[in-house]
């Protein structure tokens, strides 16, 4: 990543084979001594943290974004690769050996394993207080985001790696609770010892750690139905501050590499952000021109598609850790879903999104305020419409589609008329073959 081409990147290269190759799904580690040595030095643990961030920002984001985007029609497949065709077909026949189903699962656990190793060893290395708190908080943030990504896509998940291949599965709700606890622990650490200049210089200049923790907390509080906590956390986020992952030639933007390299796109965005015609966007809505470039092309399955822009059309384009206006959409939705809905507060938050013209990333709708019905259902539809546009290709479309009770998939294979073709993914074959605790696959 661009801001980390330094001595820690060099050190990371030396330990990458240990960290990444030893973090398979079963977590057998023939290089245990080398790994122990890596985490016993200041340089080693800093390099491991850079590596964790880099793995999430490249391989992790690729699977987080691509997999549900195909399932929920944000994008359409433009190639004959079987794994992508299987995802677009969906239905009851989606195999658990599909490489996207397995890739999303295994990459999240690679990140979780590194995060666990950083946290377990940080107290054993001589570090400045603000560097140590930063390392532990950062590991908790990435572990929480990885658990959250799993909970958004699988009906049950594992929240702790297990060297004996018998990790315990918990419900999605429990997984979100684990992620929330990790984030609150991280927040407490940073409030006691703010990150040091050493941490910022060595690990990240681009991710504002405390702001990011509050943003992800708000997200998971919303997903787990804790609406007042979601509003509080979202309110704590500085919307003028930007947290993002940066890329360069050796670490290419992972969506760019899937759409623009090697000049043969694997997928392209659907018209209207993949939403049915009932969701109408004003032609002047700036998010249309930010994310999409008009095209008359058709996909592999003859679906109308556009060219991709936004954060994804250059090899070194940044990818936000979160979009600032996600916080306003969380505030709006939480106010509508809480036991006593606050329509006024929800409408004000929606209007913050619709009239936004100064987003730090340039994701500006810059349109007129909301003028529809002032009912909970109408406003929830407006929130969903804006989430789909504002948070395009951020990996949240499957979670959103279920939460907003969009039409349930028919279960039929190759039903391209449905808004989503799965509710959850089957458990990967690699997990089922190694872990006796793996549940039955969800039917759809």
Tell whether 431 is covered by a domain.
no
Residue indicated by tokens 């139905």: 225
Task: Encode 143-170: b = buried (16+ Cβ within 10 Å), e = exposed.
Answer: bbbbbbbbbbbbbbbbbebeeeeebebb
pLDDT at 34: 52
Residue 271 lies in a domain: no
Q: Which residues contact 135 (CB under 8 A, 6 or more apart)?
A: 45, 46, 49, 118, 122, 127, 199, 203
Q: Residue 6 has what pLDDT?
A: 45
In a domain, 432, yes or no: no
Tokens 């505030």 found at: 331
Q: What is the pLDDT along the chain (444 residues), one digit of tens a residue?
A: 544 444 444 444 444 444 444 333 444 444 343 566 679 899 999 999 999 999 999 999 999 999 999 999 999 999 999 999 999 999 998 999 999 999 999 999 999 999 999 999 999 999 999 999 999 999 999 999 999 999 999 999 999 999 998 999 999 999 999 999 999 999 999 999 999 999 999 998 899 999 999 999 999 999 999 999 999 999 999 999 999 999 999 999 999 999 998 888 999 999 999 999 999 999 999 999 999 999 999 999 999 999 999 999 999 999 999 999 999 999 999 999 999 999 999 999 999 999 999 999 999 999 999 999 999 999 999 999 999 999 999 999 999 999 999 999 988 888 999 999 999 999 999 999 999 999 999 999
Q: What is the DSSP string of 295-355?
A: ---B-TTS-BB-EE-TTSSSTT--EESS-TTHHHHHHHHHHHHSSS--HHHHHHHHHHHHT
Rounded Cα distance between 346 and 349, Å, is 5
Per the structure, the count of domains in the chain is 1
We report the CATH number of the domain holding residue 315 as 1.25.40.390
Rounded to two decimals, what is the model's pTM? 0.93
Say if 433 falls within a structural domain. Answer: no
Instruction: Report if residue 357 sits inside a domain.
Output: yes
Q: How long a stretch of residues is the chain? A: 444
Q: Say if 243 falls within a structural domain.
A: yes
Q: How far apart are CA 292 and CA 305, in angstroms?
A: 9
Residue 91 domain-assigned (yes or no): yes
Q: β-pairing, 244-245 with 169-171?
A: unpaired
HSE (side-chain half, CA atoms, 13 Å) at 58:
19
Answer for the pair 100, 84: CB distance below 8 angstroms, yes or no.
yes
Q: Domain limits at 308?
A: 2-266+278-406
If one counts every other C-beta atom within 10 angstroms of the C-beta of residue 340, the result is 5
pLDDT at 22: 38
Query: What does the pLDDT read at residue 109?
Result: 98
The verdict on residue 250 lying in a domain is: yes
């Amino acid at each position: 990543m661009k801001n980390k081409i330094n001595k820690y990147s060099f050190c990371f290269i030396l330990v990458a084979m240990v960290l990444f190759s030893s973090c398979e799904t079963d977590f057998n580690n023939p290089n245990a001594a080398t790994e122990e040595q890596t985490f016993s030095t200041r340089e080693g643990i800093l390099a491991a943290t850079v590596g964790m961030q880099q793995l999430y920002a490249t391989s992790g984001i690729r699977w987080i974004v691509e997999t549900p985007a195909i399932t929920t029609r944000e994008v359409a497949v433009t190639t004959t690769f079987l794994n992508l065709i299987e995802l677009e077909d969906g239905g009851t026949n989606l195999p658990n050996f599909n490489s996207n189903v397995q890739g999303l699962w295994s990459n999240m656990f690679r990140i979780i394993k590194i995060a666990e190793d950083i946290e377990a060893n940080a107290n054993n290395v001589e570090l400045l207080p603000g560097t140590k708190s930063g390392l532990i908080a950062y590991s908790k943030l990435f572990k929480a985001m990885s658990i959250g990504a799993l909970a958004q896509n699988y009906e049950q998940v594992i929240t702790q790696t297990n060297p004996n291949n018998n990790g315990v599965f918990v419900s999605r709700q429990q997984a979100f609770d684990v992620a929330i606890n990790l984030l609150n622990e991280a927040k407490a650490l940073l409030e006691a010892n703010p990150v040091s200049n050493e941490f910022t210089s060595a690990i990240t200049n681009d991710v504002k750690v405390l702001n990011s923790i509050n943003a992800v907390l708000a997200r998971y509080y919303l997903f787990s139905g804790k609406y007042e906590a979601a509003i509080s956390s979202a309110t704590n986020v500085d919307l003028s501050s930007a947290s993002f992952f940066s890329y360069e030639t050796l670490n290419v933007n992972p969506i760019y590499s899937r759409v623009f390299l090697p000049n043969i796109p694997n997928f392209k965005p659907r018209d209207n952000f993949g939403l049915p015609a009932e969701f109408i966007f004003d032609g002047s809505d700036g998010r249309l021109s930010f994310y999409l470039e008009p095209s008359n092309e058709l996909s592999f399955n003859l679906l109308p598609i556009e060219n991709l822009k936004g954060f994804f059309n250059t090899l070194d384009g940044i990818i936000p850790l979160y979009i600032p206006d996600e916080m306003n959409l969380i505030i709006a939705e939480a106010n509508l879903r809480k036991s006593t809905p606050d329509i006024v507060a929800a409408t004000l938050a929606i209007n913050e999104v619709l009239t936004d013209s100064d987003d730090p990333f340039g994701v500006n709708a810059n349109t007129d305020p909301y003028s529809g019905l002032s009912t909970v259902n109408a406003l929830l539809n407006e929130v969903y419409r804006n989430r789909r546009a504002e948070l395009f290709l951020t990996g949240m479309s499957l979670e959103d589609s279920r939460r907003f009770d969009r039409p349930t998939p028919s279960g039929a294979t190759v039903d391209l008329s449905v808004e989503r073709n799965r509710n959850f993914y089957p458990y990967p074959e690699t997990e089922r073959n190694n872990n006796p605790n793996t549940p039955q696959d969800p039917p759809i």
